[in-house]
Structure 1
Amino acid sequence: MAQQYTKKIIREEFIKILNERPLNKITVKDIASACDINRNTFYYYYTDIYAILSEIFQTELQIVIDEYNDTLSWEESFIVATKFSLQNKTAIYHVYNSMQKEELEDYLFNVSGNIMSRYVEKVSDGISASSGDKKLIASFYQCALTEMVLRWIASGMKEDPDTIIRRIGRLFDGHIALSLKRSAGLNDSNKKQ
């Protein structure tokens, strides 16, 4: 119990500090001091600052996975996933502009992939699309969403992601189902040949 509490405090203080300054300006000493622990205690839980960052992104990914609900659209699921970024814009921007940018990119790619794979599976119910095509469709949207979010971060996160995501949803409404039906049609025509 005390171990989980200490780890939670370390993560929370790290995020607070990351919201104040760039990642490369944060030291273990800064975090330990903010948590009122010694450096050995910090190292008992984490090998370095990057291990905290990795754990935070893994935790946030798990939250998205746990909160995914079959009644949610992919847009709603993605909006849930952006909650952490919106609450910690400066921290996300600092990670994006650091050597650990890849950690953020992987997190976004995994979140997008998880959301789109589940959504494509849900939409494909009753449609005999091939599993390869389902993966291809999910991957296409995964890549598009990841890149859009990265561009949003690079531009200073000025626009409201809720508005953008909902607009994309309206513009592309029905395209996933249509693509799945085309896959089923291609499968049927291949069987006839």
Structure 2
Amino acid sequence: MSNNLITKDALASALKSLLQTQPLSKISVKSITTYCNISRNTFYYHFKDKYELINWIFYSDMLTNVNSFADPAKLVDSFSNVCKCLYENRRFYLACFQYVGQNSLYDSVEE
């Protein structure tokens, strides 16, 4: 695993851990970097803000499951794996889905 990926995984784990005790609106880049014991510059080298980190987590979590949707024989297993991933990380996903504010999912829904 590359150092780049190790750092991104550490930041993702920090955010998920912080969401266990506080809402997304109260979590700052500073709190994430303090939790990881890394500099803010390191965070900004990888992500422009915490919302980009969240997008990266969504993408990373789903990538391995969604890739197999192309094979019709694996469709049920793929859907099951996506559901398992969402369930295993439910605190994180619920916090993200329930968040209303800057860069929330509500902002991206078209009417």
TM bucket normalised to smaller: 0.7 to 0.9
Question: Which structure is richer in relative contact order (CA contacts within 8 A, separation 6 or more)?
Answer: 2
| Higher CA-based Rg | 1
Identify if the C-alpha distance between structure 1 residues 96 and 56 changes in structure 2 by more than 3 Å, giving closer, same or farther: same
Q: Is the CA contact 2:33–2:40 (under 8 Å) kept in the aligned structure 1?
A: yes
Identify if the C-alpha distance between structure 1 residues 36 and 30 changes in structure 2 by more than 3 Å, giving closer, same or farther: same
Identify if the C-alpha distance between structure 1 residues 27 and 16 changes in structure 2 by more than 3 Å, giving closer, same or farther: same
Whole-angstrom CA distance in 1 between matches of 2:57 and 2:77: 22
Which string of whole-angstrom CA distances, capped at 9 and with x for unpartnered residues, describes residues 69-115 of structure 1?
4423x44321111122111222221112112234898xxxxxxxxxx
Runs (4+) off by over 6 Å: none
**What is the match of residue 71 of structure 1?**
73
The residue correspondences of 1:109-188 to structure 2 (distance < 5 A) are none
**What is the match of residue 91 of structure 1?**
92
User: What CA RMSD, in Å, does the superposition of the two structures yield over aligned residues?
Assistant: 2.3
Identify if the C-alpha distance between structure 1 residues 11 and 4 changes in structure 2 by more than 3 Å, giving closer, same or farther: same
Taking every aligned residue pair, what percent have the same amino acid on both sides? 25
Stretches of structure 2 that go unaligned for 5 or more consecutive residues are none
Stretches of structure 1 that go unaligned for 5 or more consecutive residues are 106-193
Q: Is the CA contact 2:24–2:99 (under 8 Å) kept in the aligned structure 1?
A: yes
**Alignment length (residue pairs):** 104
Instruction: Give the AA of the match of 2:105.
Output: K
Identify if the C-alpha distance between structure 1 residues 65 and 103 changes in structure 2 by more than 3 Å, giving closer, same or farther: farther
When the two structures are superposed, what TM-score results if normalisation uses the length of structure 1?
Answer: 0.48
Identify if the C-alpha distance between structure 1 residues 39 and 21 changes in structure 2 by more than 3 Å, giving closer, same or farther: same
When the two structures are superposed, what TM-score results if normalisation uses the length of structure 2?
Answer: 0.78
Which string of whole-angstrom CA distances, capped at 9 and with x for unpartnered residues, describes residues 30-86 of structure 1?
1101111011111111110000011111222322223444423x4432111112211
**What is the match of residue 101 of structure 1?**
105
Q: Does 1:36 align with 2:40?
A: no
